[in-house]
Structure 1
Amino acid sequence: MALTLLGGAVPVVGAGATPALADDGAASVAADKTPESEASALAEESGERVVVDAEITKSSQVFANPDGTFTQEMNAAPVRARKGDGTWAPIDTTLVREADGSVRARNTTTGLTFTGGGSGDALVTLEDEGHELQFGWPTVLPEPTLDDNTATYAGVIPGVDLKLTALSSGYTSVLVVKTAEAAKSPALATVKMNVSANGLDIAPTADGGFVARDGNGTPVFESPAGRMWDSAGDTPATDGATAGVTTQLSRTATSSARAEGELEASEAAPLPAAEGEPAPAEGPSSGDAAAELPLKVTGTTLEITPDPALLHGEDTVFPLYIDPPTKGIALGDWTALSSDGDKFWEFDETKGVGRCSNYAGYLCSYSPYYQRLYFEYPLSSIHGKKILDATMEVYQEWTFTCDPHWYDLSRVDKGITSSTTWSSRPAEVDLMGDRNVAYGRGTLCDPSQPADWVRFSDNVGDETNENLTTTLASYAANKTSQITFSLTAHDESDAGAWARFRNDAKLSVTYVSYPATPTSYGVQQGTTGRACNASTLPFATSDTTPKMLATVQSADGANSQLRALFEVWKADGSSRAWYAASPDAAWVADNAPRDATSSALPVQTDYRMRVMTQGYYKTDRGATGVLNSAWSSWCYFRVDTDSPPPPVVTSADGIYKSAETYPAAGGVGSAGKFTFTPQTPTPTWPASSPTSSVTSGG
């Protein structure tokens, strides 16, 4: 949906208006220059949306649209990082060797460097926003072998390799214990690493991990509890259930098997994998024995103690993996939860949804299970916005067949953390949208079905139970801090619905800002002045139809159609004496000064005035409306015809002219002559000199 800030018919105070931009002789005032206003002007000029550079973050960016609206796109996982020159570029976790021998991830949200071997003091260095967290290994390390984003240090303990893997915002470190004999090493009884956290305070978390905070208490780095698992689930089952089924890792297009409704591959290339199970060193798979390992930070030492029963168990299948990960803080969160107890907090790349089991010649898992994905977004950036449209997109990488299946996007009843499991998972409470799709088979389907974004949005007129836009509008209005969604297969009993989705699910929200409270408001004083007094000393005027003044304001300085709405009440709040919109039949731009003359007010009475900015919008669905800013503070005044009004002050020598119509002149130390003249009409008080002059030296 798009929105256009047009002059369509809208109700105005006191009359029906023909909306248009006002041309009523008011002084022309340039709109406030903001990154939003400049991007909005470029978008209007080019007819294409323009990114607001100042609003780009690791996982979010804002676009100014040609129609005057803005769209914020928020990814659950980070998708970009700053390069050394300060520009933004896509995440690239590939490891490269530096001139000094160290190993660096090319472009990640958290600066990441691994040692190139030798002393283990600087095994891993994480840098983010000027903060550094460093881990050291207690012994000398060999030079690592590099494979894409993984550095392997062989034999750090006899029979044990250390694998460090770069992630978008951190890293994982996995000790690969190859044999039962290697597991007997005393060094594995408690694995110790040195920790250096200059300027950061490291504290344990309730789930067995730790968080490193800066001096203001803001989290900078975090780690969930460690874990360990064996390889029992990596051994293929031999019962009849999997007879004739090809594993996800070995099947290729040279196989003669055909999925139902699927064309055979024309080229001998590997088919996409179901990837129902993680890679052996990534995490526990179905059938693996696993245990969680609380981390302990004491002074400058990080300790992780493997489970002795699993480390030395007779049934333990080697290799055995021990994994304490550490990451920078992401604005959003995401996780995959499996019914077999596995959880993949802030997983890298893709995970599946639905029932993972053998289907159409593929084996997703030796032990079938169900899996759901969860995505969480902070919403503070849209607080106070009028939400016009919302969409959610999740990139589908692969599915079993060319036949489409239904997937549901739902709002859930609570947030997610690194300790959330299948048994403690949030409950689906409201359907946001559903889609019937099959992406990722490529040329195996006719026509081709490449991987693509699955777009969830309100299906207006067809499915009234889809509530994504209305939900985001409610959350923005109520200033709710975050929202969490689940992505599920609609029929979780259908193994054919298993599909893999990326972690960078994108929430897009189109909005227009509520206008800002007016500035420079008050009651006209003399010919050029303005008064806004407190209730204890109301401004006195003999004018029974005083003029109200204000300058209307847009919150972001973008294309706006604004007006001022004035109110005058009796000072005791007992009744409203007058109100009016300015202009009353048109709209003005941001930063435009407005005025309105009140109706005749009873004399010898105290009053108070206030003003708000109103902004007009119209959507492409035909909805129109007027948005209100907060009211200004009250300005107190008294209509008093018995007391002399303040005199009118004018420049007698032309140096200090009215600031309302002339540019600034003179200055401190520059003398000027001024004439003081009584205001008209002349009240009835004892006669005095009607005019006097004075010279001031500034």
Structure 2
Amino acid sequence: MRSETSEVFANPDGTFTQETNAAPVRAQLDDGSWAPIDTTLRADSDGTIRAAATATRVSFSGGGDRQLVTVAKDGKSLDITWPSTLPKPELAGSSATYPDVLEGVDLKVTAVSTGFRQVLIVKDASAAANPDLEHLEMSVTGHGVHLQPGLDGGVAAVDDNGTKVFESPSGQMWDSTGDATSSDSDASVRKNTRRTAMAASGSALASTPASDGGSEDPSHGPTGGDKTADVDVTLAAGKLTLAPDLGLLRGKDTAFPVYIDPPVKGVVHNDWTALSSDGDHFWEWDGDKGTGYCANYAGYLCSSTPYTQRLYYEYPLTSLYGKKVLDVTFEAYQTWTFTCDRHSYDLSLVDKGISSSTRWSSRPTAIDLMGDQLVSHGRGSLCSPSQPADWVRFSDNVSGETNENLTTTVAAHVDGEKPQITFSLTPHDETSTGAWARFRDDAKLSVTYISKPAVPTPVGVQQGNAGSVCNASSEPFATSSTKPKMYATVQSADGANAQLRGQFEVWKADGSAKVWSADSPSSEWVADNAKRDAASSTALAAQTDYRMHARTQAYYKTDRGTTGTLTSAWSSWCYFRIDTERPPAPVISSSKYKPADTDPAAGGVGESGTFTFTPADEDEPSP
């Protein structure tokens, strides 16, 4: 089973593993095949610009018309139209830039795995004074969806069942204050030059100044020192209206360019966000983000205005209902660290979920440590030995660290049928910039499980050579065999991968005593839907009423060598009677054909008559 974010594997030991990435990692193509996410833009023969492979299909205008973008998912789509004719865009990787859509304002659209991001780049104060920026209207047309205000602000596109298909959360805008050069010391650097610090072996830092390790493109989002504000996104009469914060747009201390970013995305079942103490928030960001304390370290800058940032990942659990969770791991790909020294990073369960409206002031609180890892990845050959980017794996160290309980925590959430689970990823030390690190958006939760076995069906007592019957207590099935077979067909959602057996019990009908029990097979295991049977090795007492039931037992063995069994609920009772007495000959009567020893002959060959059979009063004893 496979989706944009999730994949299920059958393991040789009979278990299954479900791997769920927070962000989409694959997209389904037109021919039904799957391909890795590829947001590279290419122009079609008709001039339309399309992303190669994204979970939500994205196409942009090639210029010369007003239809800016179409997003499509599951047969439903949204068309967004710009107020005026668009110029031919300049393509660069995943982005298309339409120059001067307003005087001094460029429009940059970027394909991401879940949809697209659009950023208005206001180049200077003169451009910011344009009254068209105060309320920028775009037409939105839905196909198979209708638009409504989002619960967290912004706009949602829902289908006829009320299911959200696309969303445009409340936008965000920021200026370039963080790009300004600091003059505090010779070690000060431009915040967003994004140059990587040279590092020798151990903890030594070379003389090249450092940043937070992120993208060099300031249109990707605000960083430390940038002034930020929310952008109101409203909907009325098919018009999507953006209302930037004019205090920031036209402030006397505003540093240009100013970036205005209202994203539009297809809805995925997983969520992720980055929250900063300086007010920045990055809902379902694309690529990687930093976590920790971003400030000054040993004279090298992460940010000229210190802030703390935390990463949060949320995963749905409904697909695991009815499963026995055996083992859980969490992996996040570390792309960059501030130094070559290893630092400890904590994966923690938090007390509530996240949404596009979650901010630092309403952030979840860590309530239980799931695990920690001491690592340093991403600086490559700048460290000795080299430290390439790599996955950081959190998994319970049962023998060495008994406080690590990722598996039991996820299992408890599944057993309690909680809809999702949310984690935070942070450095253990949030006071030192040396621990600042960046992780990708596609963090992966892997859950190994087996399905809990189902009640066997059908269940019954042998009837004839191979049939079975299950009667109620009011009409117990009568059998003359003192060793009748009991039948049950074992059941599991794991199909051929399941390892099952039937378990049988026979009791006195009044429940006063269990007569016998058996497993079938006794020392092996069978797959789903296998018919099993069992019989008592000693004869059951004759002329006695009994009842039987059965259940399915499942065996599992994890990749760590842990073994165990699970059992279903018992089936309903089937009642039967061991009746070995031979019934007497019935009494036969007829109004026309009477016994010859008492009545004269009557009727004749070929002449019909009516006969009544009446049971005798008592059984005859068995010979």
Question: Normalised by the shorter chain, which TM-score bucket?
Answer: 0.7 to 0.9
TM-superposition CA deviations, 1:6-49 (whole Å, max 9, x none): xxxxxxxxxxxxxxxxxxxxxxxxxxxxxxxxxxxxxxxxxxxx
- 2:164 aligns with 219
1:364 aligns with 2:280: no
Q: Which runs of 5+ in 1 are unaligned?
A: 1-54, 646-681, 688-698
Q: Check 1:97–1:430 CA distance in 2 against 1; reply closer, same or farther (3 A cut).
A: same
Amino acid at match of 1:98: D
- In the alignment, is the contact (CA less than 8 A) between 2:494 and 2:528 conserved in 1? no
- 1:339 aligns with 277
Amino acid at match of 1:81: A
- 1:26 aligns with none
Among 540, 564, 584, the alignment partner of 2:522 is 584
Q: Check 1:634–1:310 CA distance in 2 against 1; reply closer, same or farther (3 A cut).
A: same
Q: Check 1:371–1:566 CA distance in 2 against 1; reply closer, same or farther (3 A cut).
A: same
- 1:291 aligns with 229
- In the alignment, is the contact (CA less than 8 A) between 2:63 and 2:86 conserved in 1? yes
1:65 aligns with 2:11: yes
Q: Check 1:72–1:683 CA distance in 2 against 1; reply closer, same or farther (3 A cut).
A: farther
- 2:177 aligns with 232
Any idea what SS the aligned residue of 1:470 has? Answer: helix
- Give the distance between the partners of 1:371 and 1:528, measured in 2 at CA: 68
Amino acid at match of 2:94: N
TM-superposition CA deviations, 1:444-489 (whole Å, max 9, x none): 1111111111111111221111111222222233332211111111
Among 332, 341, 347, the alignment partner of 1:394 is 332
Amino acid at match of 2:313: F
- In the alignment, is the contact (CA less than 8 A) between 2:187 and 2:300 conserved in 1? no
Deviation (angstroms), 1:577: 4.7
- Give the distance between the partners of 1:95 and 1:451, measured in 2 at CA: 26
- In the alignment, is the contact (CA less than 8 A) between 2:60 and 2:69 conserved in 1? yes
- In the alignment, is the contact (CA less than 8 A) between 1:277 and 1:364 conserved in 2? no
TM-superposition CA deviations, 1:395-452 (whole Å, max 9, x none): 1111121111111111111111111111211111111111111111111111111111
Deviation (angstroms), 1:545: 4.1
Deviation (angstroms), 1:79: 0.6
Deviation (angstroms), 1:228: 2.2
- Using the size of structure 2 for normalisation, the TM-score is 0.87
Q: Check 1:104–1:56 CA distance in 2 against 1; reply closer, same or farther (3 A cut).
A: same
Q: Check 1:600–1:438 CA distance in 2 against 1; reply closer, same or farther (3 A cut).
A: same
1:611 aligns with 2:550: yes
Q: Which of the two has higher C-alpha Rg?
A: 2
- 1:470 aligns with 408
Q: Check 1:572–1:475 CA distance in 2 against 1; reply closer, same or farther (3 A cut).
A: farther
- In the alignment, is the contact (CA less than 8 A) between 1:247 and 1:362 conserved in 2? no
Amino acid at match of 2:50: R
- 2:253 aligns with 315
- In the alignment, is the contact (CA less than 8 A) between 2:345 and 2:372 conserved in 1? yes
Deviation (angstroms), 1:201: 2.5
- In the alignment, is the contact (CA less than 8 A) between 1:644 and 1:683 conserved in 2? no
Any idea what SS the aligned residue of 2:296 has? Answer: coil
- Give the distance between the partners of 1:74 and 1:285, measured in 2 at CA: 29
- 1:630 aligns with 569
- Give the distance between the partners of 1:64 and 1:380, measured in 2 at CA: 19
Among 110, 116, 123, the alignment partner of 2:56 is 110
Deviation (angstroms), 1:627: 1.2
Q: Check 1:212–1:468 CA distance in 2 against 1; reply closer, same or farther (3 A cut).
A: same
- In the alignment, is the contact (CA less than 8 A) between 1:278 and 1:285 conserved in 2? no
- 1:261 aligns with 203
Deviation (angstroms), 1:376: 0.8
Deviation (angstroms), 1:533: 3.3
- Give the distance between the partners of 1:542 and 1:351, measured in 2 at CA: 76
Deviation (angstroms), 1:507: 1.3
1:95 aligns with 2:41: yes
1:506 aligns with 2:444: yes
Q: Which fold has the larger relative contact order, with Cα–Cα distance below 8 Å and residues 6 or more apart in sequence?
A: 1
- 1:77 aligns with 23
- In the alignment, is the contact (CA less than 8 A) between 1:272 and 1:398 conserved in 2? no
Q: How does 1:482-521 map to 2 (within 5 A)?
A: 482-521=420-459
Q: Check 1:312–1:400 CA distance in 2 against 1; reply closer, same or farther (3 A cut).
A: closer
What is the aligned length? Answer: 589
Q: Check 1:600–1:230 CA distance in 2 against 1; reply closer, same or farther (3 A cut).
A: same
- In the alignment, is the contact (CA less than 8 A) between 1:248 and 1:275 conserved in 2? no
- 1:138 aligns with 83
TM-superposition CA deviations, 1:501-536 (whole Å, max 9, x none): 111111112223333332332111222321123456
Amino acid at match of 1:372: R
- Give the distance between the partners of 2:532 and 2:138, measured in 1 at CA: 67
User: What percent of counterpart residues are identical?
Assistant: 59
Any idea what SS the aligned residue of 2:457 has? Answer: strand
- Give the distance between the partners of 2:475 and 2:63, measured in 1 at CA: 77
- In the alignment, is the contact (CA less than 8 A) between 1:641 and 1:683 conserved in 2? no
Range that drifts further, 609-618 or 573-582: 573-582
Range that drifts further, 623-632 or 146-155: 623-632
Range that drifts further, 424-433 or 508-517: 508-517
Amino acid at match of 1:95: L
- 2:189 aligns with 246
Amino acid at match of 1:327: K
Aligned-residue Cα RMSD (Å) equals: 2.9
TM-superposition CA deviations, 1:168-194 (whole Å, max 9, x none): 111111112222222232322211111
1:274 aligns with 2:212: yes
Deviation (angstroms), 1:332: 1.2
- Give the distance between the partners of 1:143 and 1:484, measured in 2 at CA: 43
Deviation (angstroms), 1:249: 4.7
- 1:427 aligns with 365
Deviation (angstroms), 1:296: 1.4
Among 113, 120, 136, the alignment partner of 1:191 is 136
- Give the distance between the partners of 1:683 and 1:436, measured in 2 at CA: 87
- In the alignment, is the contact (CA less than 8 A) between 1:524 and 1:548 conserved in 2? yes
- In the alignment, is the contact (CA less than 8 A) between 2:182 and 2:190 conserved in 1? no
Deviation (angstroms), 1:199: 1.8
- Give the distance between the partners of 1:192 and 1:124, measured in 2 at CA: 15
TM-superposition CA deviations, 1:321-351 (whole Å, max 9, x none): 2221111111211111111111111111111
- Give the distance between the partners of 1:331 and 1:575, measured in 2 at CA: 52
- Give the distance between the partners of 2:198 and 2:565, measured in 1 at CA: 64
- In the alignment, is the contact (CA less than 8 A) between 2:187 and 2:299 conserved in 1? yes
1:330 aligns with 2:276: no
- Give the distance between the partners of 2:252 and 2:511, measured in 1 at CA: 83
- 1:21 aligns with none
TM-superposition CA deviations, 1:289-318 (whole Å, max 9, x none): 322233212231111222233333333332
- Give the distance between the partners of 2:46 and 2:255, measured in 1 at CA: 40
- In the alignment, is the contact (CA less than 8 A) between 1:228 and 1:322 conserved in 2? yes
Range that drifts further, 96-105 or 186-195: 186-195
- Give the distance between the partners of 2:555 and 2:617, measured in 1 at CA: 44
- In the alignment, is the contact (CA less than 8 A) between 1:542 and 1:643 conserved in 2? no
- In the alignment, is the contact (CA less than 8 A) between 1:553 and 1:591 conserved in 2? yes
- Give the distance between the partners of 1:312 and 1:139, measured in 2 at CA: 24
Amino acid at match of 1:106: A
- In the alignment, is the contact (CA less than 8 A) between 1:272 and 1:441 conserved in 2? no
Range that drifts further, 448-457 or 525-534: 525-534
- Using the size of structure 1 for normalisation, the TM-score is 0.78
